[in-house]
Amino acid sequence: MIFVGLSHKTAPIEVRERLAIGRSQLPEVLARLTAHPAIGEALVLSTCNRVEVYASPRQMSPGLTRPGSAAPPSEEEASHHNEALRAAASVLVGIGGDAVRGHLAGCVGSEAVLHLFRVAASLDSMVVGEPQILGQMKDAIEVARGAKTLGARLGRAAHRAIKVGKRVRTETAIGAGQVSVSSVAIDLARQIFTDLAGHTALLIGAGEMAEAASKLLVRAGARLVVVNRSPERAAALAREVGGEPRPWAELERAVVEADIVVSSTSSPSYVVTLDLVRRARKARRGRSLFLIDIAVPRDIDPAVNKLDNVYLYDVDDLSQIVAQSVEGRAAEAARAEAIVVDEAQAFEAWTLERALTPTIVGLRARTRSILAGEVERSLAGKLRHLGPAERQALALMIDAATNKLLHVPTTRLRAMASDPRVAEHVDSLRELFAIDD
């Protein structure tokens, strides 16, 4: 398995938004990935803070080694991995342009599995412990399955990642309290105003993150105004949380009246432009305007930050508050890391044991062929007088003898799956018994 992509850890928001891939675009991206001869399976995880490709090389034979083991990957294995890695990176650069190239990170084999599991456990999230990542990963799996780009190998890893994420949330308190980009945004609003009660908050958007922010704003006592391109969705969200819906045409007026603006749409371009804020600033007559943009791509033109009495914060600016959150969750994060490592090792052991299957099957076939050949020669000679019943008994005896002869060797071979030298042992076994691929 290989991984390549970028996140808030490797790229600033102005680079991440170049590579933002909407859900409706995912099937096309998956098709482009698997159209490459080096890639057999593909999964794309696209969120506001990361775009990552997980893939299995098309020509990859079941590997028996892993990075860091005493037995290094074969040249053929390394070649397949590297070719798939380059192919996936090329697709991402094709979408985001050359600007994203220097911000891509990648790894292969067990390191890629470990990264996938850490992402599912929210350990790689901007807000450690946030619950949204599991839903986003499930959605990515559903899209890949629908696009028929998820096979046995990658599918097993992806579904295991979901279980790892659930286990972390069940066995640790990493998700205790409100932890999400939306909750951190509201924490920032509280730092600005101390008390949100009596203040007007304008929420632009009505998606999942906007809904989470709306509930937190109302809970904090703010008067909520909701604006969305879809009046039905704006009305539905406002009705659910006790806010006031406004039509999209009144966006500028709503900005003028608001004390704080939180924007979270899926628009590919700015919805709060520099000109809009300039006009709103004049109408506000000197009142400070606080804007929090939690969308990727960004909803609010960053140029507004240069205007007097206008203060804009985007998702990257939330990192200072996030750092405080991480400090408070350090112990739980350490427990979660231990779970992730344990699960990654268990998955690696399963992968290695599964990779032994062709050798074990070949060994059984080779042994049975030798025994059957000897019996056939006897049946053609001294035992040719035997009838159907006796011949059937001999066939059963061949199967029983094969099982008894190979029980101990195959059991020990499976037990050696986690041994760094297993590849050497398997190669020797295949050579000694002339087991062909």
Tens digits of per-residue pLDDT, 56-104? 998 654 444 443 333 445 566 778 889 999 999 999 999 999 999 999 9
Full set of structural domains in the chain with CATH: 2-175+330-346 (3.30.460.30), 181-326 (3.40.50.720), 352-432 (no CATH)
Which residues neighbour 400 within 8 Å (Cβ) at sequence distance 6 or greater? Answer: none
- pLDDT of 371 higher than 60: yes
Which residues, 6+ apart, have CB-to-CB distance to 254 below 8 Å? 202, 225, 227, 246
Active site residue 107: no
What is the pLDDT at residue 65?
Answer: 42
Residue 71 is predicted with a pLDDT of 42
- Name the β-bridge partners of 52: 5, 45
The closest of 32, 145, 26, 36 to 80, measured between CA atoms, is: 36
So what's the pLDDT on residue 182? Answer: 82
The response to whether 107 counts as a known ligand-binding position is no
Distances (CA, A) of 258 to 126, 186, 189, 274, 288: 28, 15, 13, 17, 10
What pLDDT, in 10s, does the model give residues 302-315?
Answer: 999 999 999 999 98
pLDDT of residue 181: 80
pLDDT band at 248, cuts 50/70/90?
A: very high
Burial of 416 (0-12, 13-18, 19+ CB in 10 A): middle
Higher pLDDT pick, 421 / 36: 36
**Closest to 47 (Cα-Cα) out of 106, 131, 154, 109:** 131
209 in a labelled binding site: yes
- The C-alpha angle 10, 14, 18, rounded to 5 degrees, equals 90
- Catalytic residue chosen out of the listed positions 39, 48, 55, 134: 48
Q: Known binder of ligand: residue 82?
A: no
User: What average pLDDT does the chain have?
Assistant: 88
Q: Do 118 and 18 contact (CB within 8 A), yes or no?
A: no
Specify the pTM: 0.78
pLDDT for res 365: 86
Residue 17 labelled as part of a binding site: no
pLDDT value for 67: 36
Q: Tell me: is residue 25 an annotated ligand-binding position.
A: no
Residue 207 assigned ligand-binding role: yes
Structure token digits, residue 191: 């730092």
